Structure formats: C-alpha cells, structure tokens
Structure 1
C-alpha cells in the first residue's frame, strides 16, 4: 500500500457564502424590527394625545409618514401582526408588505419628483419618510429568499369569505342597533345598513345618512369594535399556518407497527405512535419515524422517534424541515433522555416535564415496612370479595368486549377524551389485540373497574386507560395494579410495567424535604394549588407507593419565546383545554365494529391518569 493511501482523507473546504447570502438574514431581520418599531410608535400615538395629534396633523397636511405610521390602533395591530408573520418567515406576509409598501413608496416618489401645487418637495420630513420607506423596501428585496414558509392555499379564499361574511353579519347587527336607538326619522333599511357598514370599515359614517340617523355613542363604539374584531379575524385567517395532515393512512400504520415489532421495547410510549389522529414522517431509509400533530401552529411530536436510533436523525431532520417550511413551531412532549440528546443535536432545547413510573416485576414485593399501607389496602379490597381477570384483547369475545366498552363509556368523567402522548385514544380495536385488559368484579360478580395496557415490546406493558365505578371500594385501582404486578410475570411473561406519568415529580419530592429553598417551596405550593383540578400531586403519590423506577421525560423546543404557544398546544392536544364547536354539541358518537379494518380513530379512548 502506498504511503499516500495512508493519509487521512482531505476535508473539502466549506463553500463560501456570497456577500449577498450573508446579508439576507440581516435584511430579513431588519424588516421585522421596522414593523415592531412602527407598531410601538402607533401604540404610543394611541395613548399619547400630543404625539397622536402631531402625527395626524402631519399626515393630513403636507407631510408624509413612514410606511404604516398612522397613529391608529388598527395600524398598530396590523404592524405587530405582520412583524410576527415576518419573523416566522411567511411568504404571504412578504407579498403583502411588498405590494402595499411598494405602492406607498412609489406614491411618495411621484409626489416628490412631479411638481404640483402642494409642494411636497419643500418639506425635509417627506424625504426622511420616503428614505425610511425605501430602506424597508430594500430590505424586503434583499431578504426575499429568506421568506420561504408556506401558508395554506385556502387562506386567501378564506380571508375574503371571512371579510364578506363578517361584514354582512356585522352590518345586520349594526342595522338592528341603529333601528332601535335612532333618534331621527326617515331612515330605511338600506340607510341603516350602509351606516353600519361604513362605521365598520372607515370608523366614520357616510355623509349621505347623517341627516336621518343619530345614535348614542355606545352604538357607534360597538359597531367600531365589531369592525376591529373582523379586521383581526381576517388577518388571522390570511396568515395562519396550514393545519397539516390529521390521520395516519393504513400504509403508515402498517409501517409503524413493523418498526415497533423490531424496536418496540426501546420506549414505553412507542405504541401510542399508532394513534390515528397523528401524522408521520419516515426517515429516508424507512428505518425510523417521527409521529406528530399540528395544533395551533405547533408541530407537536410525542415520545421518542420510532425505529432504529441510528436512523432517528434522518426522520428528525425531515420533520424539522417540514415545520420550518410551514412556519410551525417544532416541539416534542414526553421524550426520553436518549431521544432528548439526539433532538438537542438538531437545535432543540430541553425542559424536564416530570417522571414516568416504571415497575420491574422481579423487584416488586408487598413485603416490608415501607409497603405496609399498600399491603393493608390490598388485603382489605381482597377480603371484600373483589377479583381481577387479566386477558389480552384478542382473547376477549366480541360480545364481552362490547359490554366492557359500554361500561368504560358509562364511567368516563366528562365527554372530553384526554391524552395524546400517553394514551391510545381508542379501545376495542381489532388491530390492538396484544393490548391487555384488567377487569375487576366485586363479590357479587358485577364489573367495577377496567384497566387497559398497550404493549411495550414483547415483555412490557404501558398503562393506557383507567375507568372505575365511582361507587366501588376505595383502593380498587391499586388492587388491580398489584394483581398485575404479582401475576403478570407468570400469566403474560412480563418483566416491566409503565404506570402513570408524574408531572413535576422532583418538585414535590425535593420541596417536601428539610432544607428546601423558598423558591422550590413556593413552586411546590403553586403546583399543589393546581392539583385540585388536574391531579398533579395525587398522581405522583399514587405511583410512589409502588416504589417504581422514575424515568425522566422532557419537553423539547426550539425557541424559549414559543414556550407559551407550545404549552397551550400541548394542553389542547392532551385534552386539558378544549375549544367548543357547534357541530360537537349535536354529533353522536358511533362505535366502529370490532371487525372493521383500521382506518379512522374511534370515539373511545382514555389516558394515563
């Protein structure tokens, strides 16, 4: 072998970026900061009367003001809205600014270059406004290629429909208010409707109807407020991000199940990737996948990527590329430490959410002083005559499964199905035959509680659903879990079981110890207060009694400024925040036959906790 062959391969020099490519991000950022500054100045003009009067005097006289500087609240909101859209690099916002800003700049140039009786060219401030507007346009042109985020193709049509529909509804409401409160006579429906429309669009009424319409100030204010709400709604519809895919296809689900068959033991939450209200992106090799849902402009992935860890980066890169293409905020909820490290290499930061309780069956025992309270509760329920039956879903006859589903429906607390990252969202589907059902009956043979677990590889289970009769014996769920932990090894060849997720577990554990600092104690008190509604502390204590192994789970995000948005999206996905809709008030739930092929999600579901 020649000596040259032993030399390490040369690393090619990184391609040098052209000067224009280097200043594009700076120019794009310049447009954002310009819009933020204009929004701030407009807002100051709204609250500071002298400044507002000065700006309006200049605008109505022989002065120009920079692009979007009008001293109005509507323009302040518009500027802020555009700044947010431009920061997310939305192409639609760039087109809007280029069209409106370009027209403004051309009008300024014509006014300065073409002589006229107004003598605009004699005022130095007009040159300042023209130059500032021109610099904004220059930044737009230079940074054009930075604005690549796609919007929904239906946005323009929906914005126009929203504007026309809102104008019609607002005009009709305004017409009724004017008709009831008008102190003059002689106005017809057309006059009153025109009055309301002009008030919504221009804030001032049409001069043609002032001689027949006179209403109190509160009516005018209400109509103007409707116009402002319509304006914001049209902006939101025009620039909102596309919602993305909602359901897994049958082919996608089949591929995910193949990956779970090979690598399913890696993550206790892996099986929840088969929720059919998630979308999926596979790595180029097809050996890994990221499952996610788009909620409120957030591309929310859950758990670890599915499949071979060596192929995870390929799936993560494609998922992030899609999020940036559509201006979605990427986030991951419930990731393990192993996945968190991989995500961090792709630019995401981590925040610990809490811990997952995992019990190793060969280490679990009811013996010892530490388990005395649990042992007493278990023996008390057992003496009351309760028994537990453990079966795979595939071993339950169809008629019995329907009876179990009816009982689960009857015991459900409310109509909202909670769960996204740690719940399957369906029960009794034929594709979930490897799931495990625990049925608890009282001494008279009546069904009192149900637990359902999803597979975690070949020798593990992960809790999916808990339902029980509220009138049953206290400690029934604990009794069922202990029965599984004591019998699951022999009957199902289990080695480990994942129980509930305890959010902010470390806060409760460290905050109750001697020497805990004031900040930690305050944080523990705050979480304890919210536990009255969301069972934060009670879930931790309910699982701590089994003396489990605590595995931390993380929330991953790209920008700290997007954490509130991500938190709301996560709460919506998990079912803690629900937006009411009229169709849902009248929609009847239909259970899919147990023999149907996997397609859309059923209405049945549950969730850990």
Structure 2
C-alpha cells in the first residue's frame, strides 16, 4: 500500500506539472505572431551576428536605395543581452497586444511603428546635422539594428485600451525609458525608438480609443498611493540616465556630459600618463589623476555611486509616502542644481559646441523633479516614527565618528606606508575626502588627495573607509523609509462591536471581535471594518459591516483612509455584494473561499439526500451519545479539560502550524456569546465539539456560524454530522434564519466558468495545501448538508500589490510558525494526504 501511495503521489505531482506546462503552451499558442518574431529574432540574430553591415538602418542606407533596411533592422540586435531585453519587451508589449487585438493588427502596428520610427529618426538626424548640432551630426552614417522601436510603439498604442491605472504606469515606464535612452545613450536606435513612441501614442489614440471631445481628454485623478508611485519613478530619472550610459557604454547623448556627477568613471591610463608626464610628475594634477584612477579600480568605487544610490533610496521613501523622504528629495535636487551650475561654470571655457544648451537641458531634469515634488507635496504626509528617525540619526553620527577615528588613528600610525608621507593635519583633512564622491571635490575647490597608499594594509584602510560609512548610512536610511510609519492606535473595538450588534454583517463578522484586529469606523459611525496592517497592506477580515445602506460608501472611505497612510487596502473573504461595489471602483477580485449556508425555516432531514445525516443521528442514539450546550466560561471543568486535551492532541497529531485569522482556536472560545455544542457519551467522554458564532441584527442573533470543530479519537462514526444536525435543529426552534458552515479557504465550487489566470494559480495553491489542511475535503464534507453555496472573494485595487497581499495573508494565517513546523509542512505537501484528513470531521476546522 505504501508503494501505491508513493506512486499515486508521484503521478499526481507529474499531472500538476504537466497541466502547468500545457497552460503555458496554451497561452503562447494564442500569440503566434509574437512567438514567431521572438524565434526569428534569436535564429537570425545568433546565426548572422554580423548582419548589421547589410541589414542595419541608417541615414545613408535609404539614400542609397536600400529601403529594405527599414524592415530588416528589426530582426537583429547587439549581443545576447540585447536579444534578452528585446525578448522580454516583446512578451510585455507584443504578446498582450496580439491577444487583445489579434495577430494581424498587432503585426501591422509593429511594422508601422518600426518603419515610421526609422523614417522619423533619419529625418531628425539629417535636419540636426544640417543645423550644426554636434550630437546628431555624429550619427550621420551610423547604422543600427533592433526591434525595440516597434515594440515600444506597440506598447504605447496598447496603453490606450488599458485602465487608467495601468495606462499611466505603462506610459510612464515606456516614455521615461525612451527619453532617457535618447538623452543619455543617444544612438540611432534611440532616436528611432523616440519616433516610434510618438507614432504608437498617436495610433493608440486614433485606433484604440473612442472618439471623445477634446475637453473630455484630461488627466484623471489618482490616489495618494498611485501619485506617490508615479512621483517616485519620475524622481529616479536623475539616477537612471547615468546608469544607462554605464550599462550600454554609449555616451553620445547630450546629457551624458554630466554623468560623472552621478557615476564616476575614473581616469584612464592614458590620462594619468599625460597628467604625470615629465615635469608634471610632482604636481597636484598628477596626484589627482593617480588618486582618481586608484579609487575607480578599488572597493572605494562604491563612493562614486553614492549619488545614484541616494536618489534610488529616496525614491523608495517617496513611494512609501514618507514626509522625511520628501524633504530629503527636495534638498537633494537643490544640491544637484547647485552642483550642475558649478560644473557648468568650471567647464564652459573648455567645452565646445552647444554646451550651454545641453547644460540648460540637464538643469531641467532636477528642476522639473523639484517642481513636481512641490506640486504633489500634499501626498507625502506620512511621518516616520520618532524613534526610527532618532535611531537613524544616531547611527549616521556614530558611523561618521567611528570610521573617522579608525581612519585617522590607523592611517597616521601607518603614515610611512603612504607616499608621500602625510602629516597629521593631512590625514585629518583627507578623511572627509574619502566620503565625498570624487566628482564633487573639484566643485568644492578641493583636490582629490595629497597622498597614495603603498602597502596592502594602507590600501585596505584607504579604500574601505568610504564604502563602510556609506553602506551603514544608506542602509539605515532605507530601513527608516521602509519601516511602517508612525501609527497612533485608537481602540475602536467597543464602538465597532456596538455597530455589529445593532446592524449585523456577514457570516464572518463576529470574527472581527477577535484579538489582533484594528477597527475603522465610518465618519457617521454606521459602518466599521476590521483590519490588520502587515507591511504596507491593510488586510481586512471580511467586508464592511453595519448599516447596509452605509456599507457601499464605507468601502471607498476605508480605501481613502488606507491611502492617506500609505497602505494598500485588501478586503479578504467578502461577499458578492461587496465585490459588486469594488467592481464599480475598478478593483480586481479572486475567489478565495466558498461559504455554505443552511436556510433554517424550511430545513427538514427528509429524503434520500439526507440519509447520511439521519444515520449519524441514529448512531448517536445507539451509542448513548447526547449533545449538550455550553459556553466556555460556564462549561464544567471536566468538559473544558477534555476540549483542551482534544485540541492539543489534534495539533500535535498534525505537527503543523495552527492557523489563525479566520480560523478560531481555544482562545476564541472564551466568549460568553459564543455557544459550544459537545457530544458526550454515558461516561461523559467527549466524542466531538463544535463552536458557533452569533450573527446579530437589531441586538439579537438571527444566525450562527460554525467555527471550532474537533472530532475525538475513538468517536463514533458521524459525530460531526450529528453535532451539526443537532445545532441546526436547535437554532431552527429558536427562530434563527440561517446557519453557516463557514467558508472553506482555497476551495470553491465548479460553476462551469473558465477561471482567469490568477484564479487558476489560487486553485493550484489549494490543491498543493490539500494534503496538509484538507480544505477541499472539508468542502466536500459540508455538501452532505445540501447547503447554498456563496462565493467569498479577495478584492484589491492594484494587481502590482499581489506579492505583498500574499505575504500579508500568509502572516495573518500563520503568525507564529516555527522553522520546524515549516519543514514538516513542506514534507506533508509532498507526501500526499495525511491519514487523519480522511473521515468525518477529521479534517481542518473550516
């Protein structure tokens, strides 16, 4: 039997893997043009790597009558890295365009943007060369290859058919990237890509959108979170441009003149030789060149990259909505503007051509970022915790003092290992220079250094001082921006409970009274939401509860409440009614559970379909088992001890982390309004236990929800059916309207609809967790009671937050998981169904 089980488990995993492969192939089969382009791209590119000479596009190729280069230049690129980037861009833009528009229109759009972009590039280059522009003049006669112009054009055209959220994001990404490559790399393909981007935008506006009056074409308002994201991306432009020149090694763009203010390139061997030739060997200019080259070829090169790192980290803080990051970003732009002005005045005498025009263009970058920051300042009001800010400040000061003391002390002690041998005041003045990016020292009127290390010990001290200091400071700044913002906790639990008692909610709403939840109240006090913040995600337990007429407005109000605090709202296990509300707001949804409802007024265990339930009631009578109602505080000590022992035994038997959040344990039983139904035999031995959560309306329970469920070892077969049936009959006699068997997480009914891709991923997760927790087995067990199935959903405003949402849900359900439990869980997931998962009521609680 063990071998058969292993074989079944192995074949099951194989089927799941094969199903995943088939799903991927099925998706790719719906985009034949994209796959053909990618395959053709790789085959021709790798098979004819030198084809640029005859297939490349340039100003002269069309003039010479080789018009086909307007088409052929799109199936080659530069090196394997270029092929990989183009392939990724094709999957991001061309594939969704083909699936949305069809193969023919997508290919036509690609060719239109590719060819039109090339023609516009040729026209602009020729015009610029004729007017004497040195940058464009250098591009005359150059040839280029690459499909990225057409792909960028397709992506921007496709953006016209997307929702406002993703339209803004895709356009910001593609337009910003296109302009950065144009202004910093400045190659022929970059000019063609800019032309193709313009063609793509116009094509999308004309072909993929409804005709609207010009007055209706205006920017749509965005949330705080979306504005922060867009501003953060825009603010990182100053760092991304110089990075492009470093990655591509192309420095023809007009703004590449200022790249050394962001990423130093160091002095070349030839420049050092020229600076130290003959009588210049003992000058400060020679020492500067030697220091620059030594730093650029050592770990201290990290200091060259500090401006870029600082810009990126501050952008992360802006994305998180931190006020401290806003002030840092403003100060940083002021410093950059001052540095660029100083750089201009130092080099305008030696620089030729349109250096002044390019300098003005470069100044527009930090100036425009500064303007955007000022205009959007109201979106950055989240304050860093005072303790976090003071800790960062203390760490920065301590790092400066400690690294300075170490450098000055040991460098002076080892001064004989430097050339020329420095005096104490020279070592002291050299310490700040180890921290400042070398490109900024001449702007301050300082030389790069007065001495060089000779020995290994001296080199280690000289080269690592700056990187160690900046790693500590930048790491501390990133942590300060990333950590959760200062949050004043207001205990609204009592008010929220009164709202729940008066108006009621869903079948899960009583769980909002459990520990671990914070509560938001609507301004008029008629609705409430229970939530917990995990990272930057505000995860709710169910939807809004309270006055039914106030629940729809409560969704938008709670979302605004989260948005103002830098959280992304995620409403978990909400009903169809709440989903309809969020659908109107443009949110996305996934079904995460299946609620099972028994309508009590017409309930009767008659007919063949209730045979299992009637059998369980008969077996209980024959076994001498009876059901007894208690609440945990008033239950006999003997019953409490047996329930506690049974629960501990259940957890120990599984050896897995006990789940929380929407799954109650012993702690949640200790509530006088939660009812306990236990099955005891004539010897008062416990066979099973269930707990029932009240669903209130106008101050009285009108329904009950099953929560805690345990089956004792040695219990008679059908004990859980007996307890549930007994509870249903008792609640019916009391006048309750419904009984909920609660939702089974990651399990749902097959309603004959083709699930979306993300829903299929969630279904796979449910199947993967089945051997450990048996959610699907539990749903099948509840089918014995002929329930009405009601889907429960996860709704969220931004699909980009799904990884954070998944992390938040995982931490909510498994907040105290130990490494050993995670190891056992992983083994259980690969070992097949656990024996205890079979049989009535022995599976998970919900």
Using the size of structure 2 for normalisation, the TM-score is 0.51
In 1: Cα distance, 2:401 partner to 2:681 partner: 61
The answer (yes or no) to whether the contact 1:299–1:328 under 8 Å persists in 2 is yes
> Aligned match of 1:138 in 349, 371, 377?
371
| Alignment correspondent of 1:159 | 392
**1:113-192 alignment runs, 5 A limit:** 113=345, 123=355, 126-160=359-393
Matched, 1:459 2:702: yes
- 1:544 Cα deviation from its structure 2 partner: 2.0
Matched, 1:480 2:713: no
| Alignment correspondent of 1:419 | 660
Larger CA deviation: 465-474 vs 110-119: 110-119
| Alignment correspondent of 1:258 | 498
Matched, 1:103 2:345: no
- 1:31 Cα deviation from its structure 2 partner: 4.0
The answer (yes or no) to whether the contact 2:594–2:749 under 8 Å persists in 1 is no
- 1:501 Cα deviation from its structure 2 partner: 0.8
| Alignment correspondent of 2:457 | 212
Number of equivalent positions: 522
The answer (yes or no) to whether the contact 1:41–1:71 under 8 Å persists in 2 is no
- 1:533 Cα deviation from its structure 2 partner: 3.3
| Alignment correspondent of 2:55 | none
- 1:168 Cα deviation from its structure 2 partner: 12
In 2: Cα distance, 1:532 partner to 1:373 partner: 25
- 1:456 Cα deviation from its structure 2 partner: 1.3
Q: SS where residue 212 of structure 1 aligns?
A: helix
Which structure 1 segments of 5+ residues have no match? 1-15, 63-69, 172-183, 185-196, 582-606
The answer (yes or no) to whether the contact 1:151–1:239 under 8 Å persists in 2 is no
- 1:235 Cα deviation from its structure 2 partner: 0.4
| Alignment correspondent of 2:297 | none
- 1:321 Cα deviation from its structure 2 partner: 3.3
Q: SS where residue 545 of structure 1 aligns?
A: helix
Structure-2 change in CA distance of 1:107 and 1:31 (3 Å): same
| Alignment correspondent of 2:17 | none
| Alignment correspondent of 2:478 | 235
**1:373-522 alignment runs, 5 A limit:** 373=612, 375-376=614-615, 383-393=622-632, 395-397=634-636, 401=640, 404-405=643-644, 407-412=646-651, 418-421=659-662, 423=664, 426-429=667-670, 432-441=671-680, 444-457=683-696, 458-469=701-712, 472=715, 475-490=718-733, 492-503=734-745, 505-506=747-748, 508=750, 510=752
- 1:214 Cα deviation from its structure 2 partner: 8.8
- 1:310 Cα deviation from its structure 2 partner: 2.6
The answer (yes or no) to whether the contact 1:42–1:72 under 8 Å persists in 2 is no
- 1:143 Cα deviation from its structure 2 partner: 2.9
In 1: Cα distance, 2:222 partner to 2:735 partner: 62
In 2: Cα distance, 1:20 partner to 1:345 partner: 20
| Alignment correspondent of 2:570 | 331
| Alignment correspondent of 2:520 | 281
The answer (yes or no) to whether the contact 2:538–2:562 under 8 Å persists in 1 is yes
In 2: Cα distance, 1:23 partner to 1:509 partner: 36
The answer (yes or no) to whether the contact 2:644–2:666 under 8 Å persists in 1 is no
Structure-2 change in CA distance of 1:428 and 1:521 (3 Å): closer
Matched, 1:532 2:775: no
| Alignment correspondent of 2:609 | 370
In 2: Cα distance, 1:42 partner to 1:377 partner: 74
Query: Which has a greater percent of helix?
Result: 2
Q: CA offsets, 1:232-287, max 9 Å, x none?
A: 564033343326466x74xx3333333233222x4212222212322222233323
Q: CA offsets, 1:31-61, max 9 Å, x none?
A: 4343455565566567657779995686547
In 2: Cα distance, 1:558 partner to 1:24 partner: 11
Greater C-alpha Rg: 2
The answer (yes or no) to whether the contact 1:508–1:537 under 8 Å persists in 2 is no
In 2: Cα distance, 1:533 partner to 1:494 partner: 35
Structure-2 change in CA distance of 1:503 and 1:109 (3 Å): same
Matched, 1:322 2:561: yes
Q: SS where residue 742 of structure 2 aligns?
A: strand
| Alignment correspondent of 2:445 | none
In 2: Cα distance, 1:362 partner to 1:293 partner: 36
Q: SS where residue 785 of structure 2 aligns?
A: coil
Q: SS where residue 426 of structure 1 aligns?
A: helix
Structure-2 change in CA distance of 1:397 and 1:519 (3 Å): closer
Which structure 2 segments of 5+ residues have no match? 1-214, 272-301, 405-416, 418-430, 439-450, 820-843
The answer (yes or no) to whether the contact 2:496–2:521 under 8 Å persists in 1 is no
Structure-2 change in CA distance of 1:225 and 1:267 (3 Å): farther
- 1:332 Cα deviation from its structure 2 partner: 1.1
The answer (yes or no) to whether the contact 1:89–1:149 under 8 Å persists in 2 is yes
Structure-2 change in CA distance of 1:401 and 1:120 (3 Å): farther
| Alignment correspondent of 1:558 | 797
Larger CA deviation: 543-552 vs 26-35: 26-35
Structure-2 change in CA distance of 1:76 and 1:376 (3 Å): farther
The answer (yes or no) to whether the contact 1:91–1:147 under 8 Å persists in 2 is yes
The answer (yes or no) to whether the contact 2:238–2:366 under 8 Å persists in 1 is no
- 1:303 Cα deviation from its structure 2 partner: 1.8
In 1: Cα distance, 2:511 partner to 2:604 partner: 29
In 1: Cα distance, 2:537 partner to 2:223 partner: 26
Q: SS where residue 459 of structure 1 aligns?
A: strand
Q: SS where residue 427 of structure 1 aligns?
A: helix
